[in-house]
Structure 1
Amino acid sequence: MLDFPAPKTMAKALRGALADRGVSLSHGQCLDLVAKQFGFADWNVLSARNAGALPPSDLPIPSGWFSCGSFDPDQFRVGRAPDVPDASLAETIATSGVPSDAFAGLMQSFSAEAYRGKRVRLTAELTARGAGAGTIWLRVDPIDGVRPLAFDNMMDRKEDGPISGTTDWTERSVVLDVDDKAASLHFGFFLKAPGSVLARAFRIDTVDQTVPVTKGRPLPPGPVNLGFQ
């Protein structure tokens, strides 16, 4: 297992060195660059391979889950919601200095063996309190883990996408195909500052082909409209 403080220290050093040379990158971008140096697609892939290694929150982390994101632990806290049963929380605790691309949440990973060749739907309920954005996400990884086979975090959706501001409980779903070469699945929720987001009632089930995928639409069985009609 990699020593997590080392990659974070590398990212801070890289950001400072680039700034000295007139190159401005955010903390999150530097974390992604460090992750690539370790051979991973981005910081989330690296953190998924190091479950439980991120700094602890003052909130209890539910069993089977671990913290994830691109953030400083002085800026966010994540864990079991103290005032809402059966829910977990990601919350901004810093009042200033939080990078615009910083985010924090909880996730977990599991083997793709039972889901290969199937269509999988992740569903959960979210509620927000003054949030920049709150979302669920699902990713399908190959054995090498360098580039995801499929990924959807709802952030580019025009409908049924991330929640923001202050909302009631809202159900969201992500549907992806699990490739025969898939090794693992990863899922969770996260908050983009400011505010907080709570998540509950996660479930994963397989669905048939009548349920469309939400990212990376499947290719048609053959060419269409070759006459430009």
Structure 2
Amino acid sequence: MAKALRQGLNERGIALTHSDCLELVARQFGFQDWNILAARISDGGTPQVALRLPEGWIAGGSKPEHYEMGVDSGMPGSPALIRCKYEADDPAYLSAEKGFGTLMQSVAAAGYLGKRLRLNAELRTEEVSGAGTIWMRIDRAPGQTARFDNMESRSDQGVLAGTTGWTPRQIVLDVPDDAESIHFGFYLRGTGRTWLRNVTLVEVGEDVAATGGGGAYLAGPTNLDFSRLSPGSR
């Protein structure tokens, strides 16, 4: 990595020594210097970039202690990352109560009342056993959900699992006139790693269909003849 970094910088007219590049590689992995990273590698450990929470974002979820969340400075563009601390077959995880970890924001709804909002983002997953997804919720008051969508119930353009490349996803919700707060982010359910980048929250017109209804309820009667099966059903 240090050799590739040095070569790339030299091609751009930036001259650094090999030692300088080793130090930069160590910092990308979240270590203070190359000596510490080299010792970690010689011990057989797998170096991982230390994650730091981005400003304005909150780590949460039903089981946040199972996950590490923050900015992945070791990946181009420094996207946000949620990674499970356990492998899928880890006895400690298999015996634990399952849940999810989320990285999210909460904003006041005052500037968006009566508008239709679209949350756009790109997701990438690696060895996800459950689901990686974006989500958005609009509350009238704490505990009073007006609109919600986490893509879990979609038959297409829904949650991601396994290993995938960067994949665009979007959620569109109406903000009621009496809404108080808007909450959005992404989460990882199960094991593996999920990245997020290119997040935008923009107003759209009535020509863009909403994707979520009120709370945990459907927007209206659907699939009354049982012709469509839920994702993963047999």
TM-score category by the smaller chain?
Answer: 0.5 to 0.7
- Alignment-derived partner of residue 142 in structure 2: 145
Query: Following the alignment from structure 2 to structure 1, what is the Cα–Cα distance between the partners of residues 116 and 150?
Result: 17
Deviation digits for residues 66-95 of structure 1 (CA, Å, limit 9, x no counterpart):
10111152x211111132223010001123
C-alpha distance in structure 2 between counterparts of 1:83 and 1:128, whole Å: 16
Unaligned runs of 5+ in 2: 1-49, 221-234
Question: Identical aligned pairs, as a percentage?
Answer: 38
Superposed, 1:5-154 pairs within 5 Å as: 59-73=51-65, 75-84=66-75, 85-95=77-87, 96=90, 97-98=92-93, 99=96, 101-131=98-128, 132-142=130-140, 144-154=141-151
Alpha-carbon distance, 1:101 to partner: 3.9
* Distance in 2, Cα, partners of 1:72 & 1:121: 26
Normalization by structure 2: what TM-score?
0.65
CA distance 1:117–1:65, shift in 2 (3 Å): same
**Deviation of the 1:218 alpha carbon:** 6.1
Q: 2:196 aligns with which of 195, 199, 219?
A: 199
Question: Hey, what does 1:176 align to over in structure 2?
Answer: 173
Counterpart Cα distance in 2 of 1:147 and 1:183 = 10
Instruction: Supply the distance in 2 between the matched residues of 1:186 and 1:127 (Cα, whole angstroms).
Output: 21
CA distance in 2, matches of 1:147, 1:180: 14
Q: Are 1:190 and 2:187 an aligned pair? A: yes
Partners of 1:157 and 1:101 in 2: how far apart? 22
- Runs (4+) of structure 1 moved beyond 6 Å? none
Q: Please, which runs of 5 or more residues in structure 1 have no aligned partner?
A: 1-57, 220-229
- 1:218 and 1:116 map into 2 onto residues whose CA distance is 19
